[in-house]
Chain A
């Protein structure tokens, strides 16, 4: 694993060989200061770092950076998610500088959902950089102390650099190469797309291990518990790049409606247990969408609690 300095709590836990646990919270669609606070408080003690989404699904929300600052001030370790859809390289770098100034040490570099899915489908997109190039940019700022233009920074952002990866998207054969590409660009940890199809994930992981990538990057398996069979079907049919096997839907529809949520949590926990055994899996990123209150339960029952302490 990389020998660079350890910038964040998350990085330290992973470096110490523990399973890392992260979760995410989506900022509110208003100026309400409480939203993020409450969610962070709910999960803060059960995870190592909290991701804050950046206008997820291209819907306008409180800005990720502001929410991260709030979480940092509460004493937790935030992961700043940043998409290239809305800002060009000038704005992205400026935000990175701002984040650095607040001691935010984790970043997840994303391209972002297409604006046509969000609430402003007529907006112009930017896509000046893509996610890989954003990883390159952060690395350049951190390691070379330079902006993309070559301008030398007096103080650099100290970032543990992450990227996302979807092991299930098409073409499947390219997914490992694409991971390699992001690693080559400078990604240190990967949070994956929600995993439901365990065999296919294992197949991907095998490819990752075969190329030795698991030695170069921490892979955190993305987990999202199902609230019911409706959600499962929606994810399967409507959410791009999502692979929900039929037997999972069958299992959920096999239990009464009021028990489905419970069953969903149960499945999630079983899967975490199973993935712990998979070589290369270094942690879990639990995305309980608008269901953050269940994160503690999942973390506990998956045997990931209490969280290790590092300094």
Chain B
């Protein structure tokens, strides 16, 4: 899922301080699961905002809502009958949701309430780690199911640099060396031979194309 973290409340206040009618909109998707933007976070942020405005002596409305997903138009459309009552929306969805809202409601300022970080999973409660950078050309088949692009600090494609020790990355001892993991895994799978074939320079065009990337699945298109 997409992992995000709540923005510091002072940063949110900074972007919203001049508005009088605010809607805090959460998303019931990924950001709920990573505890950054679900209904609970909506309540917390909205409550904090109201306290802030009250103490600032302002008469401000801060309403709360959470949509099933903000990355699908039928759900974002659920705001259509309400949005006119607000002069700003704080979206607690990932960057996709914020932008979908912004595209759908062109005359409304939409502000992000979370920092969208990466695609990852739940390591333990309250700890999420990255697994995928969405490069668009998966090489996991050759790397024992462990992605060197997401897991190696230098995105090395042909093995570890000389800096790792005890299986930890030279950049930070808290990070496992991605290539160490790949090596261990290949060894376990008896596929160490795959390691010695040099990997050619990667085709990054699926990752660093101009403008927003597209995924088209013809069979799924209507």
Q: Do A and B come into direct contact in the complex, CB within 8 Å?
A: yes
Q: Which residues of B contact A117 (CB under 8 A)?
A: 171
Tell which of B157, B159, B204 touches A178, judged by Cβ atoms closer than 8 Å.
Answer: B159
Q: In the complex the two chains form, is B154's CB within 8 Å of A85's CB? A: yes
B 189-222 binary contact with A (CB < 8 Å = 1; else 0):
0001001111111001000000000000000000
Q: Which B residue sits closest to A239, measured CB to CB?
A: B163
Scoring B residues 132 to 176 as 1 if CB is less than 8 Å from chain A, else 0, what string do you get? 000000000000000000000111111111111111001100000
Known contacts A133-B198, A136-B198, A136-B200; A170/B166 CB under 8 A: yes
Q: Which residue of A lies closest to B182 (CB)?
A: A174
Is A28 part of the binding interface, using a Cβ–Cβ cutoff of 8 Å? no
Task: From A128, A136, A137, A164, give the contact of B162 (CB < 8 A).
Answer: A164
Q: Interface-forming stretch among A180-188, A258-266, A271-279?
A: A180-188
Do B171 and A128 touch across chains, with their CB atoms under 8 A apart?
no
Q: Does B177 contact A (CB under 8 A)?
A: yes
Closest Cβ of chain B: how far from A117's Cβ, in Å? 8
Contact A240 B165 (CB under 8 A): yes
- Asked whether B183 lies within 8 Å of A125 as measured between CB atoms, the reply is no
B170–A241 CB distance below 8 A? yes
Q: Which residues of B contact A112 (CB under 8 A)?
A: 154
Q: Does A130 contact B (CB under 8 A)?
A: yes
Q: How far is the CB of B175 from chain A (nearest CB, A)?
A: 11
Are B163 and A240 interface neighbours, CB within 8 A?
Answer: yes
Contacts of B155 in A (CB 8 A): 125, 127, 130
Q: Which of A125, A166, A170 has the most CB of B within 10 A?
A: A170
- Cβ of B180 < 8 Å from any Cβ of A? yes
Structural contact, A130 and B162, CB atoms closer than 8 A: no
The 8 Å CB contact of B156, one of A111, A165, A177, is A111
Chain B nearest CB from A150 CB (Å) reads: 12
Determine if A8 is an interface residue (Cβ-Cβ < 8 Å).
no
Convert A165-200 into 0s and 1s, putting 1 for each residue whose CB lies closer than 8 angstroms to a CB of B: 110111101100110110011000000010000000
Smallest CB separation, A65 vs chain B (Å) = 21
25 A-B pairs whose Cβ atoms sit less than 8 Å apart in the complex: A111-B161, A113-B163, A114-B170, A116-B171, A125-B154, A128-B204, A130-B155, A133-B199, A164-B162, A165-B162, A166-B163, A168-B162, A169-B161, A170-B180, A171-B180, A171-B184, A177-B195, A181-B195, A181-B196, A184-B198, A185-B158, A240-B164, A241-B162, A241-B164, A241-B170
Could you list which residues of chain A lie within 8 angstroms of chain B, going by C-beta atoms?
85, 89, 111-114, 116-117, 125, 127-133, 136-137, 148, 164-166, 168-171, 173-174, 177-178, 180-181, 184-185, 193, 240-241
Nearest 5 interchain pairs by C-beta: A166-B162, A240-B163, A240-B170, A132-B158, A241-B162
Given A130-B155, A133-B200, A178-B158, 11 other A-B residues pairs in contact with their CB atoms under 8 A: A85-B154, A132-B159, A132-B198, A169-B164, A170-B160, A170-B166, A171-B184, A174-B160, A181-B196, A240-B164, A241-B165
